[in-house]
């Protein structure tokens, strides 16, 4: 594993922890987190309700396993295995941290002020597992499959949309999903590269600028 990848993963994890600290341990952070939650969770019409309700489970382990199965059927079993393994690691990390932090879900902390749109999930609130699982999967899969900048941007947008859905549906605070997203990126950053990735990286480092 390259030191640069470890440093990047540690930096992302540190930012995730910093977001959580500010939101949970400072008055300004708690106030801002609650205000953003209220603004997003208040609802923005039936179309938004439907879209966010339908898209949110794309961040589940079941969805990651289904996507991995599809990749395997399409002839990419190694890439599928690496991506779903990263998603599983992100989920385990999130569950472990949830038990340590033990932040109540919004509908538990403020049942009268929360518009809960889906069945109550298991576990506590910080960090959110859904964006972490999805981001770890799509980042590793995109890297393994050689996705270009546009495809990677689309996958990032999908992860952010699922993150927003968790707040909109009333099961997470904004800081939960931001930290979860960053943790997923941290897991992906340190996840072992496949042979094709290592070869491509070596070729990239071996290139020399053309003489003029």
Residue 160 belongs to some domain of the structure: yes
Look up residue 37 and give its two tokens. Answer: 């939650």
What 3-state DSSP class applies to 150? helix
Report the alpha-carbon distance of residue 41 to residue 113 in Å, rounded. Answer: 9
- Tally of domains in the chain: 1
Residue 193: per-residue pLDDT: 87
The pLDDT of residue 211: 46
In a domain, 182, yes or no: yes
Range of the domain at 179: 3-194
- Judge whether 7 lies within some domain: yes
**Per-residue model confidence (pLDDT) at position 210:** 46
Q: Which of 96, 68, 92, 61 is nearest to 82 (CA)?
A: 68
pLDDT over 90 at 189, yes or no:
yes
CATH classification of the domain holding 50: 1.20.144.10
pLDDT digits (tens, 9 = 90+) for 92-105: 999 999 999 999 99
205 within domain boundaries: no
Confidence of residue 206 (pLDDT cuts 50, 70, 90): low
With bands split at pLDDT 50, 70 and 90, how would you rate the model's confidence at 196? low
In a domain, 84, yes or no: yes
| CA proximity to 128, closest of 158, 160, 155, 153 | 160
Q: How confident is the model at residue 202 (pLDDT cuts 50, 70, 90)?
A: low
pTM over 0.85: yes
Indicate whether 200 belongs to any domain.
no
* Predicted confidence (pLDDT) at residue 147 exceeds the cutoff of 70: yes
Cis geometry, peptide bond prior to residue 30 (ω within 30 degrees of 0): no
Q: How far apart are CA 211 and CA 194, in angstroms?
A: 32
| Residue 128 pLDDT > 60 | yes
Within a domain: 203: no
pLDDT at site 190: 97
Please say whether the beta carbons of 55 and 113 come within 8 A: no
Q: What is the mean pLDDT of residues 55-62?
A: 98
Whole-number pLDDT of residue 201 = 55
Cα(48)–Cα(168) distance, rounded to whole angstroms?
9
Across the range 22-33, mean pLDDT stands at 98
């Amino acid at each position: 594993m390259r030191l640069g990848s470890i440093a990047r993963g540690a930096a992302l994890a540190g930012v995730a922890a910093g977001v959580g600290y500010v939101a949970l341990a400072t008055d300004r952070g708690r106030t801002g987190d609650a205000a953003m939650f209220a603004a997003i969770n208040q609802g923005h019409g039936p179309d938004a309700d439907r879209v966010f309700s339908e898209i949110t489970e794309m961040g589940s382990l079941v969805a990651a396993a289904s996507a991995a199965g599809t990749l395997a059927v399409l002839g990419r079993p190694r890439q599928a295995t690496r991506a779903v393994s990263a998603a599983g690691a992100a989920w385990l990390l999130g569950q472990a941290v949830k038990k340590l932090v033990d932040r109540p879900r919004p509908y538990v902390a403020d049942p009268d002020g929360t518009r809960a749109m889906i069945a109550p999930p298991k576990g506590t609130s910080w960090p959110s597992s859904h964006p972490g699982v999805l981001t770890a999967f799509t980042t590793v899969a995109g890297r393994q499959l050689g996705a270009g900048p546009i495809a990677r941007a689309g996958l990032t947008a999908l992860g952010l949309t699922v993150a927003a859905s968790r707040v909109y549906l009333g099961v997470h605070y904004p800081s939960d999903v931001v930290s979860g997203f960053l943790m997923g990126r941290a897991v992906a950053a340190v996840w072992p590269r496949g042979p094709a990735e290592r070869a491509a990286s070596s070729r990239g480092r071996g290139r020399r600028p053309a003489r003029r």
